[in-house]
């Protein structure tokens, strides 16, 4: 297996949209450990990180979760796909909230071609057993949504404090 360092232009461009992802969805990323890029992090909007709901508990849980992911190769992400850690792969489907949030960022051409959509995941920062998030009552059940791009890069995008994007 050979490794090519990305060019400066490739790094600056971020994710390469329009690449046909193969069946394992990770191309040559399987053995690599992830790095994090905040290029597509949403700060504004209903699911941006600049919400008053984002608090110290969320921040600590976020960095604890990212630390867990940083210490395993990408291929092990599928093993995390469980209720125990509440880490799941997430399909982007027209008509659902995730699709609506991604539309202005990725565009319809990418989102309507499933083979071009990078693999998305979400994980819970925390969740009380048997309690559902509810914006009206203020009961939180926060999720972080991200995708995996080239060179095993994780791109966090959304903070969903009430688990509304993909309930």
Predicted confidence (pLDDT) per residue in 99-130, tens digit: 999 999 999 998 998 878 888 999 999 876 67
Q: What is the pLDDT of residue 12?
A: 44
Look at residue 97 and tell me if it is in a domain: yes
* In-domain check, residue 13: no
Q: Residue 147: name the closest of 28, 16, 23, 31 by CA.
A: 16
Close Cβ partners of 126 (under 8 Å, ≥ 6 residues apart): 57, 61, 141, 142
Residue 83 burial (CB count, 10 A):
9
pLDDT in tens, 38-72: 999 999 999 999 999 999 999 999 999 999 889 98
Q: Which of 9-18, 117-126, 145-154 has the lowest mean pLDDT?
A: 9-18
Q: Tell whether 57 is covered by a domain.
A: yes
What is the domain extent for residue 153?
Answer: 32-160
**Beta-carbon contacts of residue 81 (< 8 Å; ≥ 6 apart):** 87, 88, 89
- At 134, which helix (H) or strand (E)? none
Structure tokens at 127: 């969740």
pLDDT average, residue stretch 10-35 = 57
Q: Model's pTM, two decimal places?
A: 0.81
Phi/psi for 76 (5° steps) reads -80, -5
In a domain, 37, yes or no: yes
Whether residue 76 is contained in a domain is answered as yes
What total of structural domains would you count in the chain? 1
Is 74 a member of any domain? yes
Rounded to the nearest 5 degrees, what angle is found at the Cα of 128, between the Cα atoms of 122 and 130?
100
CB 112 within 8 A of CB 93: no
pLDDT tens, residue by residue, 73-97 = 887 877 776 666 788 888 899 999 9
Q: Would you say residue 78 lies in a domain? A: yes
* Mean of the per-residue pLDDT values of the chain: 81
- Non-local CB neighbours of 65 within 8 Å, separated by 6+ positions: 123, 125, 144
**Is the model's pLDDT at 9 over the cut of 60?**
no
Stretch among 20-24, 103-107, 148-152 having the lowest mean pLDDT:
20-24
Q: Which DSSP state fits 29?
A: G
For residues 99 and 97, what is the distance between their CA atoms, to the nearest angstrom?
Answer: 5
Q: Is residue 109 part of a domain?
A: yes
Q: Which residue shows structure tokens 């905040």?
A: 38
pLDDT value of residue 5:
41
């Amino acid at each position: 297996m050979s490794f090519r360092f990305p060019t400066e232009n490739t790094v600056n461009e971020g994710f390469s949209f329009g690449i046909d992802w193969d069946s394992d969805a990770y191309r040559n990323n399987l053995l690599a450990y992830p790095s994090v890029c905040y290029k597509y992090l949403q700060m504004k909007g209903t699911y941006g990180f600049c919400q008053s709901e984002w608090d110290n508990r969320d921040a600590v849980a976020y960095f604890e979760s990212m630390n867990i992911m940083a210490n395993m190769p990408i291929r092990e992400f599928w093993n995390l796909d469980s209720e125990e850690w509440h880490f799941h792969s997430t399909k982007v489907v027209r008509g659902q909230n995730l699709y609506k949030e991604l539309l202005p960022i990725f565009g319809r051409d990418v989102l309507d071609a499933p083979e071009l959509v990078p693999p998305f995941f979400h994980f819970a920062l925390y969740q009380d057993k048997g309690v559902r998030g509810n914006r009206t009552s203020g009961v939180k059940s926060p999720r972080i949504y991200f995708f995996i791009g080239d060179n095993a890069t994780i791109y966090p995008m959304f903070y969903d404090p009430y688990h509304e994007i993909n309930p």
